[in-house]
Structures are given as C-alpha cells and as structure tokens.
Amino acid sequence: MNPLPAARVMDRRTALKWVAAVIGVSLIRPVVQGAPVPPGTAGYGLDPDLLKGGEAALWPRTFTPAQRATATALCDIIIPADDRSPGAAAVGVPDFLDEWISAPYPEQQADAALILPGLAWIEAEAQRRFQHAFTGLTEAQAQAICDDVRHVSSAAPEFRDGAKFFKRFRDLTAGGFYTTPEGIKDIGYVGNMPLGEFAGPPPEVLARIGLA
Amino acid sequence: MPVITSSRKQARYDVVIIGSGAAGGQSAYTLAMEGAKVLMLEAGRNYDPIQETPMFQTNREAPLRGADTPDKPFGFYDATVGGGWNVPGEPYTQASTDPQKQFWWWRSRMLGGRTNHWSRVALRNGPYDFKPYSRDGLGFDWPIAYEDVADYYDKVELLIGVYGTNENIENVPHSSPGVLQPPPKARAGELLARERGKSLGIPIVPAHRAVMTKRLDPATLPARLHPNNPKARRILAEDIQSRAACFWATPCGRGCSIRATYQSTTVHLPPALATGNLDILPNAMAREITVDAAGRATGVAFVDKTTGETHHAAGRAVILAAGSCESVRLLLNSKSSRHPQGLGNSSGRVGRYIMDTVGGGLSGQIPLLENLPPHNEDGAGGAHVYIPWWLCAEQKAGKLDFPRGYHVEFKSGRGEPGMGTGTNLEWLTGGSYGRKLKEDARRYYGSFIGFNGRGEMIPNEKSFCELDPTTKDKWGIPVMRFHWEWSEHETRQAAHMEKTFAALIGAMGGRVRNQPATDGARAIKPGGSIIHEVGGARMGERAADSVTNCWGQVWDSPNVIVADGASFCSSPDKNPTLTIMALAWRAADHLLEEMKKRNIS
C-alpha cells in the first residue's frame, strides 16, 4: 500500500490522498493542489536505487538539540509504551521526524514550517502554564496542554494553530511508529512473505463479519 | 540481437517501433516471433525488473518511509523510474490557466513504459463499446466490431495470464474456455461489500487482472498461440517456464521480479529478444518519422540521449507505440513537403479527441471490519473483485442522466503500514493521543474502504493537443500544448459515482469520511490523472475524418502504424491496456501480411 501523508488544510487534497493511499497505483496522486510540482534535483531524484533506498536519504538534518528534546518528549506522549509495544521515541521516531522535515520537497518543507514553530509554541506554553520546560512536565501537565489542541475543529480559537501543529505532529509520529517492525507487530499487519496459496479470510474473520 | 547502443544499430530493419510499453511490447513480440527484424526505440533507460524490483523492502527502509514525493509521485517503491507527470527537460504546456481545463500528462521514460506502473486491471471492451455512436448518437463508432478483436483478446489473455471469471453481465464479454486463470479468494472487506451490494442490485464479481495465479502450461499454451510456428512455440515454451505464479506478497505497482504479472519487460520482451530478431535501443528519443518523396516512411530520426547526437534508424515500416499523446507529437513533428501539417494530418484530426477515464472516488469506515483478528490480506497485490457496469438496462430505459457507464475498483484491508497508518483518525476519535491512540489505531486499522469509479469519457471538440508554437524540450523538439474540458456527460457520471459509493458504504454499515459531492464538476478527477490517455489519432472508415484505417495504418502513409491508444475512437470504462495489446497484435499480423504481399516494401 502506498503511504499517506496526512493533509493539513486542503480538504479535497486530503481526501484524494487518503483514497489514493487506500487504493494504490491506479489512482491519482496529485502532489499539490491544482498542478503538479516539478521534480526536485535536491532530493533523491527520479531514479533512486530502490533496493538500497534508505541510504539515499542523506539530506542534512534540521533539529537543534532543544528541538529534538521537545519532539522526543511529545512523540512519547502521543505514542507511549504500553504492554503491546514500546513508545515512539524508543523506535527512532524523533530521527524519522528530523529526516521528514529536512527533506527538500514542498510537502515536507511545509511540514517543517508547521512543526518547528509548533515545537517552539509548545515549549512556550509549558513555560507560560507551568514555568517549566516541556520535557520536564509531569504527564498530567503535558496532557493539559495536549488536551487543548487534540482536535482542530473543537479547539478554542487561541489554540487553533497549536491544534494544527499537534494534528500534523501526531500523524507524522503515528506514520513513523507504525512503519517500524515494532509498530507493524502492534497493529497486526501480517504479510510481506511468499505463500504457496492465498487462503482468504480465516473462519473466525468470516464469523465476525457475519459471513461464516 | 540484444539491448544495444546507437553504434550497434543495423543499417536497416523491417520495422522500427517507437516505444516499449503495452503496444510496443506486443508489436515487437508478434513481429519478432514471425521473423521480422525489429528495432525498438525507447526514450528512457534500460530496465530489468528481475534485478531492480524492490519485492520485500519495507517502508521502514525507504526515504520518508516510502511516502510519495515529486520525484516518485506514487511512492518511493513504485516501479516508475525517470517518469511522472513532470519529466525534467521535457515539458508540456497548457492552453488555459484554469485547472479544470488542464490535462496532466503522465510519461514513463524507461524500458516497458507505463506497463511497469499499472493496476493490472485487464478488461475487454464489449460489443457496445465499439459501436457507441450507433447506440446513443454520441462520439464515434470504431471501424471494427468486438468480433474482430475477440480472438486477439483471447490470445493476449493467454500470453500474459489474466485471472477472472465469465459472468453474465450485459456488455461484459466472455473469454473463451480455458483462457482465464482462477481468481483469488476475496478478502474480508471484498466479501462484505459483495454481500451488502446485493441489496442495492450492485454485482461484485472477480476482477480481471494480469496476475498469474498458476503457471502457464508449456505443453499446451505455445501451440495454442503459435500453431504454425515451431520456433515461436519452442521459444515461448522455454520462456514461460521461468515465469512464476503469484506468491501472494508485495504490491504489483513495484513491478514483479518473478514475472507473475504483466509488464512488457516481464512478458513480451524476453521471448522477443530470444528470437534474435529484436534490437532494443534505450535512451533513444524519437524526433520525427522521416519520409521519402512519395510521403512514405523511411525510418525514424532520434536523439541519442547519452550523447545528444541525432541518428537515423531505417525501416520498411514504423510502428508508433510511444503513448497516445507522444505518438501524436511525433506525427505532428514529422512535417515534410508531402505532409506539411504533420504526418497523417491531411484530415486535420491528429491531436483531436484525446480522452482520459472519468475518475471519482469516495471512502468510508466500516465498523464491522474493526478489530478483526490479524490475518494476511496481501493477496494478488491488487483488487480481487470489482463492480462491472451494471446499469445498461436502466440507462436504456432513460433512468440515468448521463450516457455510457463506469466500473468500480475498490480496496479495503490490512495492507502494509505506511505513512497513512494510524493517521487522520480525528473524525472517528475526536483527536485521541497516548495509549488511547494506540488502541484506536489497532481498532481502525483495516476497517477503511475506498471506492473508485472508472468511467467512459465521450470525445469532444474541446479536448485536444497540438504543438506548442514556441516551447521546445531540451533536445530541441517542439512540445505538446493541451486543451481540456469535461462535458456534462462526464461530470454527471462522476456525481452518480459519489451517490453509489455513499450507498454502498451505508449498506456495509459504514460512515463516509467526507460527504459525497453532489456537483459532479467537483467530484471528477483532473483530466489525465487516471493515466488512461487515449485518442488523438483515431481510426475510422474514411481518410477524410480519421487518421488511420481499421488496422492502425496511417491513411496518408500506410507503412506507419499507430499501435497504441492514440487510435482509440472511444474510451470505454474498461481500462485500455488489454485492448491496446489486442489491437497491437492484430495490427502486427496485418503488417506482416502486407509485407509478405509486398504492399509494404
């Protein structure tokens, strides 16, 4: 399945991308609203080595130590460890976030313009409310801030921008987490292995959907 | 004869083929198997799916976890290399600044062309689809009927391997007995849709996709395809023994290193090369078709992209298989004293009546599919079922506000996690985070379904392409300028799709994520975005109002054959690839006859 960058403000684009992610190759994948963006030369190019993909993503990273610390704390509040899997920070999501916002593509650059000020905002909010760095807040204190920005459409006007940041940060954290082996196991994806036959849904699945 | 460089080119060939995708691959296969000496020009680089396909790489191993970028618009692992809606140095232009009147032109600069990137959905045009004007007075009839193509559909399906079933649905033809391969079992979401669709009268049946669910039989298949050609039988028998059946893993869009799915590079080119009759010249950008004093083609002038030098390939005949609008571009750029408006353009029809597929889509979330026990839904790397157009009778009775029809492709299921997994859930969760987000992500994973309509566009006067009067590409070749407009026929159809998909999601007990658009102009996808570009050099009965005859031979220069989608007279809802191959095989057979009779020398 193709990956899906969550959208921010463009509803139609969000919908298209979402459908495209579900459907795969036969669908349209507009890269920006209205018109395609010219391929960049600063990225991995039109013809990267698909077998050694990760090695190509060597664009310089962005996070300062302070930004990294805030991002690390926040991604663990969004995806903490539980009895099924580790938290986001333990599986390298902060590094992934840095890779993402550092990429020389329009979408990722737009994310950088949302994420970096957002990290500064949440630090300032921690100082304003609790006179403490975000990284040192108690879980309850951090949640008090996050609860105000958890949902864009229900956030108070003064938290609307914070909520847009939080939504995007949460989606990038989730995408980063669920693409790791630990995240894949947690969410229950089974596949990517050659099989002699395709068995179809097992009986317990058919029973659950009323088609046993 | 092998993959070559310009300096290894022979002095003259029987046939020069421009393009290496579905049309070029099929043409090369048919001609080389029958002994013709063939040169294939490909504008992109050589590509070997056996060596280059990322079969089991995970998104974790890719830049940006495999997400799409302007460099790789369908995600990092998509098979397309060197292509997309924008190719550096090879621009195209739009006549209008209005996004609704623009055409997105997808090109694939690599051996195998767009066949490396397709859904593998392989549907036959039905009898109605070849005679649409006769049925409703819109568009054009083809100069051929379904019966003229039926045997070629059988042959192509046998060669490439297509799974599916014969169902009794109006205008959905049957394949001959023993042609189709067994379809895979349906996935949970597909089964649920099939069951609930019944209440709406919507039939959900096995999809037809070019994925082998069992190996081809070397003892019987070659004899069926090449009854009078022992050499072809031997070559094909040997070749198909190295094509494996699907092993139910990795998405087809990455390509297929085990050659279980159709790409020109997995099916057509290996046996064609094995004949010794085919040279493939990559990095060769065709500039124009050259002609003699009588206006007949003498070969192709092309730019060797590795040196920038222009060379000439000589041939008794030229096959245009560059991709519809690229073939149009070549015709228009081939100006001579005999063809001052471009080759084949005495009728003024070259570039006219370009079409794409009408695209519309809607997604929803299905509570019954939440929290299902983990199980493998990779399957055949694409859809196992689909909805054929099911409302012919209602349409005939005047109950619909649009002509023609659409089929529906959809996907649900527990695919490999990517950057979309566990995201965009606020409409369901109210914005959960923390342990609750992890629970929600598990709950909703695999519970989404997305329906996509693929419908017929009727050719119109406002959708065409022409040479841009000033812009040239980096090789100095004039580029295409596009004019585009959907009509109400298409936008009303897109609105109908939305209503249908909302009803299906409702029947499955689900919720739509976004309300369906009632305005079809908002629902319809941009022109070109479905990448089913056809038309521009349509075939017809008369030289006065068409570009080629019923064999794809250009009226004005009969040793030039349009073998790709450019010759399409209509753009039925059926995806064009299978028909392109069937018509290319038929055109190549006819060309061989004409060469034998010395009508083409």
Whether residue A98 lies within 8 A of chain B, CB to CB, comes out as: no
A 143-182 residues with CB below 8 A of B?
Answer: 143, 146, 150-154, 163, 167, 170-172, 174-181
User: What CA–CA distance (Å, rounded) separates B473 from A36?
Assistant: 18
Q: What percent of chain B has pLDDT over 90?
A: 98
Instruction: Find which of A12, A14, A23, A182 to mutate to test the B interface (most B CBs within 10 Å of its CB).
Output: A23
Please tell me the predicted confidence (pLDDT) of residue A67: 98
Q: How many cross-chain Cβ pairs, A to B, lie less than 8 Å apart?
A: 368
In this prediction, residues B68-74 reach a mean pLDDT of 94
Alpha helix locations (H) across B543-600?
A: 577-596
- Put simply, the answer to whether A2 touches B192 (Cβ < 8 Å) is no
- Put simply, the answer to whether A175 touches B423 (Cβ < 8 Å) is yes
Is the confidence at residue B200, as pLDDT, over 60?
Answer: yes
Contacts of B369 in chain A (CB under 8 A): 209
In this prediction, residues B69-97 reach a mean pLDDT of 95
- Put simply, the answer to whether B378 touches A38 (Cβ < 8 Å) is no
Shortest Cα distance, chain A CAs vs residue B65, angstroms: 7
Instruction: Find which of B438, B449, B575 to mutate to test the A interface (most A CBs within 10 Å of its CB).
Output: B438
Is the confidence at residue A28, as pLDDT, over 50?
Answer: no
In this prediction, residues B68-79 reach a mean pLDDT of 95
In this prediction, residues A129-147 reach a mean pLDDT of 97
Whether residue B494 lies within 8 A of chain A, CB to CB, comes out as: no
Backbone angles phi, psi at B108, to 5 degrees: -125, 110
Is the confidence at residue A38, as pLDDT, over 70?
Answer: no
Of the two residues A35 and B393, the one the predictor is more confident about is B393
Is the confidence at residue A41, as pLDDT, over 80?
Answer: no
B546-586 pLDDT per residue, tens: 999 999 999 999 999 999 999 999 999 999 999 999 999 99
Q: What percent of chain B has pLDDT over 70?
A: 100
Token pair listed for A136: 């040192």
Least CB–CB distance from A188: residue in B117, B184, B445: B445
Please tell me the predicted confidence (pLDDT) of residue A156: 98
Please tell me the predicted confidence (pLDDT) of residue A39: 57
Place of tokens 């004409």: B594
In this prediction, residues B269-293 reach a mean pLDDT of 98
**Distance set, CA B572 to CA A2, B160, B262, B282, B355 (Å):** 27, 22, 21, 32, 10
B547 close to B561: Cβ distance less than 8 angstroms:
no
B92 close to B481: Cβ distance less than 8 angstroms:
yes
B24-43 pLDDT per residue, tens: 999 999 999 999 999 999 99
Alpha helix locations (H) across chain A?
A: 11-23, 65-78, 93-102, 106-130, 139-149, 160-178, 181-187, 203-208
In this prediction, residues B166-175 reach a mean pLDDT of 98
Question: Mapping DSSP to helix (H, G, I), strand (E, B) and coil, where does residue B298 land?
Answer: strand
Please tell me the predicted confidence (pLDDT) of residue B1: 46
Q: What percent of chain A has pLDDT over 70?
A: 79
Q: How far is CA B375 from the centre of its chain?
A: 32
Shortest Cα distance, chain B CAs vs residue A132, angstroms: 21
Whether residue A60 lies within 8 A of chain B, CB to CB, comes out as: no
Is the confidence at residue A22, as pLDDT, over 70?
Answer: no
Please tell me the predicted confidence (pLDDT) of residue B293: 96
Please tell me the predicted confidence (pLDDT) of residue A55: 62
A137 close to A187: Cβ distance less than 8 angstroms:
no
Nearest residue to A181 via CA among A96, A117, A85, A97:
A85
Please tell me the predicted confidence (pLDDT) of residue A42: 79
Band of the pLDDT at B601, cuts 50, 70, 90?
A: confident
Please tell me the predicted confidence (pLDDT) of residue B461: 98
In this prediction, residues B169-190 reach a mean pLDDT of 98
A158-203 pLDDT per residue, tens: 999 999 999 999 999 999 999 999 999 999 999 999 999 999 999 9
Is the confidence at residue A62, as pLDDT, over 90?
Answer: yes
Token pair listed for B141: 């009839």
Residue-averaged pLDDT of chain B:
97
Is the confidence at residue B274, as pLDDT, over 50?
Answer: yes
B 150-189 residues with CB below 8 A of A?
Answer: 184-188
User: What CA–CA distance (Å, rounded) separates B64 from A8?
Assistant: 18
Residue B366 one-letter amino acid: I
In this prediction, residues A57-66 reach a mean pLDDT of 89
Least CB–CB distance from A192: residue in B58, B81, B382: B58
Is the confidence at residue A204, as pLDDT, over 50?
Answer: yes
List CB contacts of B495: < 8 A, sequence separation 6 or more.
Answer: B360, B517, B518, B519, B520, B523
User: What CA–CA distance (Å, rounded) separates A143 from A145?
Assistant: 5
B319-359 pLDDT per residue, tens: 999 999 999 999 999 999 999 999 999 999 999 999 999 99
Is the confidence at residue A9, as pLDDT, over 50?
Answer: no
Least CB–CB distance from B85: residue in A36, A154, A163: A36
Please tell me the predicted confidence (pLDDT) of residue B288: 98
Is the confidence at residue B65, as pLDDT, over 90?
Answer: yes
In this prediction, residues B416-435 reach a mean pLDDT of 97
Is the confidence at residue B107, as pLDDT, over 80?
Answer: yes
Residue B237 one-letter amino acid: A
Contacts of A148 in chain B (CB under 8 A): none
- Put simply, the answer to whether B423 touches A96 (Cβ < 8 Å) is no
Question: Mapping DSSP to helix (H, G, I), strand (E, B) and coil, where does residue B288 land?
Answer: strand
What region does B423 belong to: left with phi over 0, alpha with psi -120 to 50, or beta?
A: beta
B 191-230 residues with CB below 8 A of A?
Answer: 191-192, 195
- Put simply, the answer to whether B376 touches A48 (Cβ < 8 Å) is no
- Put simply, the answer to whether A3 touches B375 (Cβ < 8 Å) is no
Is the confidence at residue B148, as pLDDT, over 90?
Answer: yes
User: What CA–CA distance (Å, rounded) separates A38 from A29?
Assistant: 14
B496-537 pLDDT per residue, tens: 999 999 999 999 999 999 899 999 999 999 999 999 999 999
Is the confidence at residue A6, as pLDDT, over 90?
Answer: no
A 110-129 residues with CB below 8 A of B?
Answer: none
- Put simply, the answer to whether A26 touches B409 (Cβ < 8 Å) is yes
In this prediction, residues A136-151 reach a mean pLDDT of 97
Please tell me the predicted confidence (pLDDT) of residue B6: 85
Least CB–CB distance from B64: residue in A30, A80, A103: A103
Contacts of B88 in chain A (CB under 8 A): 38-39, 41, 46
Q: How far is CA A2 from the centre of its chain?
A: 14
Is the confidence at residue B190, as pLDDT, over 90?
Answer: yes
Contacts of B377 in chain A (CB under 8 A): 191, 201
Of the two residues B413 and B210, the one the predictor is more confident about is B210
Residue-averaged pLDDT of chain A:
84
User: What CA–CA distance (Å, rounded) separates B108 from A44?
Assistant: 18
B448-494 pLDDT per residue, tens: 999 999 999 999 999 999 999 999 999 999 999 999 999 999 999 99
Whether residue A196 lies within 8 A of chain B, CB to CB, comes out as: yes
Shortest Cα distance, chain B CAs vs residue A117, angstroms: 21
Please tell me the predicted confidence (pLDDT) of residue B7: 87
In this prediction, residues B273-278 reach a mean pLDDT of 97
Q: What was the ipTM of the complex prediction? A: 0.95
A171 close to A3: Cβ distance less than 8 angstroms:
no
